[in-house]
């Protein structure tokens, strides 16, 4: 995907400056995390990363339309990344806690109390 992006970029302006892409690492990571890709690896999908990148691009476009200075783009992207990480961490903890409760629920419930069967006769004291 990076090669394709480089080809498209070079075809638009005719050359590629050596500073191209500097500082975009944080936005790339934020887009991936927004798309549901785990920072620890092993889970996520390409479509999620694409949707995360689209979302961050929309934020940048809105900030340009509102005539907000360009340095706010990185600040907003950082805030979005931080919010997603905090939300994701809390959600994972809650899900693990619920799964743990469900897994051990059968061991935590008290056994049913067994009452002796009555024969219908009263015992007389001798």
The tens digit of pLDDT for each residue in 27-65 reads: 888 888 888 887 777 788 889 889 989 988 898 889 889
31 within a domain of the structure (yes/no): yes
CA torsion sign for 66, 73, 23, 49 is negative
- Which own/partner contact pairs does 122-126 have at CB distance under 8 Å and 24+ positions apart? none
92 within a domain of the structure (yes/no): yes
13 within a domain of the structure (yes/no): no
82 within a domain of the structure (yes/no): yes
Token pair for 36 = 């549901």
- Check whether 126 has a pLDDT greater than 60: no
Q: How many domains does the chain have?
A: 1
For 89, list phi and psi in degrees, rounded to 5: -65, -45
10 within a domain of the structure (yes/no): no
14 within a domain of the structure (yes/no): no
3-class SS at 39?
Answer: coil
Q: Where do the DSSP E strands lie in 1-126? A: none
Under the banding of pLDDT at 50, 70 and 90, the label for residue 3 is confident
Output Rg (C-alpha) for the chain, integer angstroms.
29
Domain of 50? 23-108
50 within a domain of the structure (yes/no): yes
């Amino acid at each position: 995907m990076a090669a394709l992006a480089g080809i498209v970029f070079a075809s638009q302006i005719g050359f590629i400056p050596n500073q191209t892409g500097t500082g975009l690492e944080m936005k790339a990571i934020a887009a991936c995390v927004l798309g549901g890709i785990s920072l620890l690896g092993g889970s996520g999908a390409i479509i999620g990363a694409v949707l995360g990148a689209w979302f961050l691009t929309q934020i940048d476009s809105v900030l340009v339309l509102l005539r907000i200075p360009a340095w706010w783009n990185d600040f907003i992207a950082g805030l979005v990344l931080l919010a997603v990480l905090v939300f994701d961490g809390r959600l994972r903890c809650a899900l693990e806690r619920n799964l743990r409760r469900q897994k051990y629920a059968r061991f935590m419930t008290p056994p049913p109390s067994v009452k002796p069967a009555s024969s219908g006769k009263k015992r007389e004291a001798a």
